Every structure is written in structure tokens, then in C-alpha cells.
């Protein structure tokens, strides 16, 4: 009787039709998503590990199922209620994530969808025995750019610092400015892909997979190996940056950014995997030595039941499921695809039709444009120079203005036609920190407008990088609002998306160089007057561009 309860459908004849229905439903959901991810987030160095993790996770899931079959641990105790709730949660995450371009929800929804299917047909105990496959899939999910930028900065600085000192010790002409390395005549930015965070996720995932497959019996060995993956990743990233710096130094910038850049990425993982294997070998020697001292048998490199896992014909009956629930699940997936089409927002009317250069006045009030004697801090976090072709922005402008007293203000504008969760304006705090600046004295900015209109709100701060001290004032407009901070920006974009529109956005930044922090109050007052004059000059011919109309 106990066997019948564990395998109630064991005698049912196996049919592919129910599984084909589920596959069709999942294909309708995830084939377009994965295509977009391959051409989007997964096609970048920041998230290039995503498809690798997905493939490895699917292979591991297949191997783990075979292993559980060999051990007789695949059970058929369906949990339809828990499975339906889990599946519903996954479908809601997919519909919201896909329609509102929240990649965290869109890609991450695959985990509760798969878990829900297993719960519906096999139950909680079988699902729990596959927990590592679902946990491993978390590493494929693209994190929000704001979180990556925040977490990556200390790692980028650490890798830059270590690379600079290592190359200097080897006698190379190397200097560092924040996360920018200057070797010889070349300048290299330690970007996110070289920072350690993304490769740390990947290497941690591979290390955990390695540990799960090998399944060491020693808790100490597993814990130490998992913790050491972090410094191993840092070391491997330092090796990669040093290799790229040497390639650029000897072969030129084209070689450093071309094929050999990709080769350096391969070198990263080769060196990391060798370090993991080397550390594991040392730990195995320690564990074996302790076992011999205690008179215990030495642990095996891999469990025998894993090596002998084979699929038997008699096990196919375990996978015989009914057509009706499979079709219901597939219909639920198709409904989520339909919900995506219904919730997908459309572009709102643009507030800007021409390039900034064609209409931003070169003279207004007491201000006139002059050739800039200083290089402005980039509007991008990806390199150290301004780029009009930045994929985040459709148009950028950098100018320097001077008044009749000779006081100078640097103006920067960045416009983006589409503001979505993972493609939106960078806040200046992120850009300045990414380029080696330390921020302090952050405060609110408020500009009064004409009677009946709310004030223009933004932020200001002091940024310092070695001998450069800069006072910065800025605001951001997203659609018809001026959100306060990264979270408010995300919520504004989400609300607009759920109401059916994709808003445009603009960053307005004014800055000036200081000799002493005590000059900041006067600098902010000057910037406030400049921004008020500029907003008044622009509001008449271009209402709604700089501030909500």
C-alpha cells in the first residue's frame, strides 16, 4: 500500500502528448523572451554568463533526475494546490516582467513555473530534492543595473588598485584615476565585466555546482571552498585586467578591445577554475590527512550512485501524466502570453524632435557659450568620455557658459526617448562614482517657477577626485514627473508602463570647479541662477522638455 501511495500512477502508460502540451505553452512564453535576452542583456559582457548558467542548469536538472531515479527517490504525491499557487505566481511575474521590461521578473519567472509544474505532478518532496537546480538558475537572472552599479563599484576599485600595484611592481608605467588605468599612452576603464561582480556570480555558481556534483561529505571542506570562491574570483579578475593592460600596452588599443579582449575573458575562467580545482585538491589532502589520523576511510571523489545513474524503461511510467491538467497548465501559460500583449505599453508623444545643438541657445540672459577649458565628467558609466552614441541616450549635449562677471558654468543635457526599467537615465551620482569621484554634502535642489507651478526639484553634491573638486546640481524629468532618486524613478516608469505608456526623460546637470569646499554655497547659488535662467529661456519655445508642462 505504501508503494501505491508513493507511485499512484506508476502503472499508467507513458504518453508524450501531455508533455508536448506543456512544452508548447512554455515555448510560447520563453522562446521570444530568450531571443530578446540573447540580443539584449545576455548579449553584453555584464550578463553574458546568463545563457551559460541556463544551459548548465538544464543539464544538471536532467542528470539530477536520472540520479534520483537510480536512487528510487522520484515520488508521485501530487500537490495540486501548492503547484497551482506557485505556477500562478510565476505566470504573474512573467506577465509583469515581460510587459514592463523588468528582466529580473521575466527571466526569474522560469524558476517558479518549473517548480509549479513539478509540484502539480510529483509533489513537494520530489520538488525539494531538485532545489539546487532552481537555486542555480538564480545566477542567470539579470540584476537591475542600479544594483549592479552600486555593488560593482568597490570591486572595480579593488581590482583597479590591485592591478595598478602589480603592474607597477613589475616596472610598467602605470597610473590610476579611480577605475581608469593609464598604461603608457593608453587609457583603460575597468568596466563592470572586469569588476568581479558578474564573474563572481558565475564562478560562485560553477563552484557550487562543482560542490554539488562532487558532494563532499566534509562540511568544513564545503564551507571553506564556497567562501574561497570570492577571493578566487577577485584574483582571477585581477589577472584578466593585468592581461588586458599588457595586451594593450604591447599590441595597441585595437588588440585590447578586439579578439584578445574575449580571450582575456576565457583566461579569467580558466585561471579561476584552475584555482578552484587547486584549492579543492589542497582541501581534499587536508580532509584525507584528518581521516587517516582518526582511522576513518578517505572520502570518495564522487558518490558511486551518481556514477551509476541510469534511466530504466520501467521508470518511464513515473512520467506518465494526465492530458487534462497538462492542457490546463498550457492554457494558463498562453493566457499569460496574451496578458503580456495587453499590458505592453506604447511610446508617449515625444517632447523633443530635433538635436540639442539645433535649438539650445548659445546665449540667454547674462550667459553666453564659450569654448570649454575643462573636460566634463561623462554622462555615461561605461567609459571616461562623453559619447553621443551611448545606447541609453538619443542625444547629449555638453557646453560651458560664462556670464558678464567671468563666472563659468558647465551644462550637460542627456535625453532618452524611452524610459524603461533596464534602459533609463543614469543619475549623476552613479556616473561620478564610476569615474573615480568621492561624493559628499549631498542635499536637495529646489527652483521656484511661475505662480501656480510646482518648484523644480533635484539634487546637488560635491564630487572630488584627487585635485579636482566639483559642485554639481541636477534634476531628472521622467514623463510628467520629477522622481526623487533611483527607486522613485523605477516606480514612476512602472506606473507609466501599467497605464500603457513609455515616457521619455531628460537629465539637466550644471556644475562648476572649486578650489575649496567653502566655495560650495556660492557655487550652488550661481548654478541655481543659471538653471533658472536656462529653464526660462527653454520653457517658452520647448515647453515640457526640461520640466513637466
Bridge-partner residues for 183, per DSSP?
Answer: 174, 186
Are 73 and 318 in contact by the 8 Å Cβ rule? The answer is no
Q: Which three cell numbers stand for residue 25?
A: 505553452
Look at the block and give the residue holding cell 538558475.
Answer: 137
Q: Are 21 and 90 in contact (CB under 8 A)?
A: no
Q: What are phi and psi of 343, to 5 degrees?
A: -90, -10
Give every strand in the sheet of 367-370, ordered side by side: 363-364, 367-370, 395-402, 408-416, 505-514, 468-478, 456-465, 438-447
Separation of alpha carbons 343 and 498, rounded Å: 7
Instruction: For residues 490 and 483, give the distance between their C-alpha atoms in angstroms, rounded to a whole number.
Output: 9
For residues 82, 87, 89 and 93, what is the CA-based torsion angle, rounded to 10 degrees? 160
| 45: nearest Cα among 274, 270, 264 | 264
Helix axes 197-214, 145-169, angle to 10 degrees: 90
- Partners of 401 in the beta sheet? 369, 409
Grid cell 595586451 in the structure block, residue: 247
- Cell numbers linked to 528: 541655481
49: CB partners within 8 A, 6+ apart: 139, 140, 198, 199, 201, 202, 205
From residue 262, alpha-carbon distances to 6, 193, 256, 267 in Å are 51, 11, 9, 9
How far is it, in rounded angstroms, from Cα 37 to Cα 50? 9
What is the 8-class DSSP label of residue 303? -
Separation of alpha carbons 459 and 444, rounded Å? 4
Ramachandran region of residue 548, left (φ > 0), alpha (ψ -120 to 50) or beta?
A: beta
Residues designated as active site = 194, 240
**H or E segment at 261?**
helix 259-293
Distance CA 236, CA 284 (A): 22
d(CA 349, CA 82): 44
Judge contact between 482 and 547, C-beta under 8 A.
yes
CA 251 to chain centroid: 31
Amino acid at each position: 500500500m505504501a508503494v501505491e501511495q508513493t507511485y499512484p500512477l506508476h502503472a499508467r502508460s507513458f504518453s508524450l502528448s501531455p508533455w508536448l502540451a506543456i512544452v508548447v505553452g512554455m515555448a510560447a512564453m520563453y522562446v521570444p523572451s530568450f531571443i530578446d535576452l540573447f540580443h539584449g542583456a545576455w548579449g553584453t559582457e555584464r550578463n553574458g554568463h546568463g545563457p551559460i548558467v541556463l544551459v548548465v542548469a538544464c543539464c544538471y536538472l536532467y542528470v539530477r533526475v536520472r540520479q534520483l531515479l537510480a536512487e528510487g527517490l522520484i515520488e508521485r504525491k501530487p500537490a495540486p494546490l501548492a503547484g497551482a499557487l506557485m505556477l500562478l505566481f510565476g505566470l504573474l511575474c512573467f506577465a509583469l516582467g515581460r510587459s514592463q521590461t523588468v528582466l529580473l521578473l521575466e527571466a526569474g519567472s522560469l524558476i517558479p513555473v518549473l517548480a509549479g509544474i513539478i509540484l502539480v505532478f510529483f509533489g513537494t518532496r520530489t520538488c525539494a530534492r531538485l532545489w539546487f537546480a532552481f537555486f542555480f538558475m538564480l545566477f542567470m537572472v539579470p540584476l537591475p543595473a542600479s544594483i549592479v552599479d552600486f555593488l560593482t563599484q568597490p570591486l572595480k576599485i579593488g581590482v583597479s588598485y590591485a592591478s595598478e600595484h602589480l603592474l607597477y611592481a613589475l616596472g610598467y608605467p602605470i597610473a590610476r584615476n579611480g577605475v581608469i588605468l593609464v598604461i603608457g599612452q593608453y587609457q583603460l576603464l575597468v568596466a563592470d565585466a572586469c569588476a568581479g561582480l558578474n564573474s563572481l556570480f558565475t564562478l560562485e555558481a560553477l563552484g557550487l555546482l562543482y560542490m554539488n556534483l562532487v558532494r563532499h561529505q566534509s562540511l568544513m571542506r564545503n564551507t571553506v571552498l564556497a567562501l574561497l570562491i570570492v577571493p578566487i574570483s577577485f584574483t582571477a579578475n585581477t589577472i584578466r585586467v593585468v592581461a588586458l593592460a599588457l595586451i594593450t600596452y604591447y599590441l595597441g588599443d585595437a588588440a585590447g578591445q578586439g579578439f584578445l579582449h574575449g580571450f582575456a575573458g576565457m583566461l579569467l575562467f580558466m585561471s579561476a577554475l584552475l584555482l578552484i580545482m587547486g584549492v579543492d585538491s589542497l582541501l581534499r589532502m587536508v580532509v584525507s590527512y584528518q581521516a587517516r589520523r582518526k582511522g576513518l576511510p578517505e572520502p570518495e571523489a564522487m558518490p558511486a550512485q551518481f556514477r551509476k545513474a541510469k534511466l530504466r524503461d520501467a521508470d518511464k511510467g513515473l512520467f506518465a501524466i494526465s492530458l487534462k491538467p497538462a492542457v490546463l497548465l498550457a492554457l494558463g501559460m498562453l493566457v499569460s502570453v496574451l496578458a503580456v500583449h495587453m499590458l505592453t505599453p506604447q511610446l508617449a508623444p515625444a517632447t523633443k524632435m530635433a538635436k540639442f545643438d539645433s535649438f539650445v541657445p548659445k546665449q540667454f540672459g547674462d550667459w553666453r557659450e564659450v569654448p570649454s577649458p575643462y573636460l566634463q565628467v561623462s554622462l555615461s558609466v561605461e567609459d571616461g568620455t562623453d559619447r553621443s552614441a551611448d545606447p541609453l541616450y538619443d542625444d547629449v549635449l555638453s557646453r560651458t557658459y560664462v556670464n558678464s562677471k567671468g563666472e563659468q558654468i558647465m551644462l550637460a543635457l542627456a535625453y532618452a526617448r524611452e524610459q524603461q526599467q533596464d534602459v533609463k537615465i543614469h543619475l549623476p551620482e552613479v556616473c561620478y562614482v564610476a569615474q573615480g569621484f568621492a561624493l559628499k554634502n549631498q542635499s536637495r535642489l529646489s527652483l521656484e517657477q511661475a505662480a501656480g507651478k510646482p518648484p523644480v526639484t533635484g539634487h546637488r553634491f560635491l564630487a572630488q577626485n584627487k585635485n579636482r573638486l566639483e559642485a554639481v546640481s541636477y534634476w531628472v524629468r521622467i514623463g510628467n514627473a520629477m522622481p526623487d532618486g533611483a527607486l522613485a524613478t523605477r516606480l514612476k516608469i512602472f506606473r507609466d508602463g501599467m497605464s500603457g505608456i513609455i515616457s521619455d526623460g531628460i537629465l539637466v546637470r550644471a556644475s562648476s570647479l572649486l578650489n575649496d569646499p567653502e566655495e560650495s554655497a556660492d557655487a550652488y547659488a550661481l548654478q541655481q541662477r543659471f538653471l533658472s535662467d536656462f529653464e526660462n529661456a527653454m520653457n517658452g519655445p520647448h515647453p515640457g522638455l526640461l520640466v513637466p508642462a
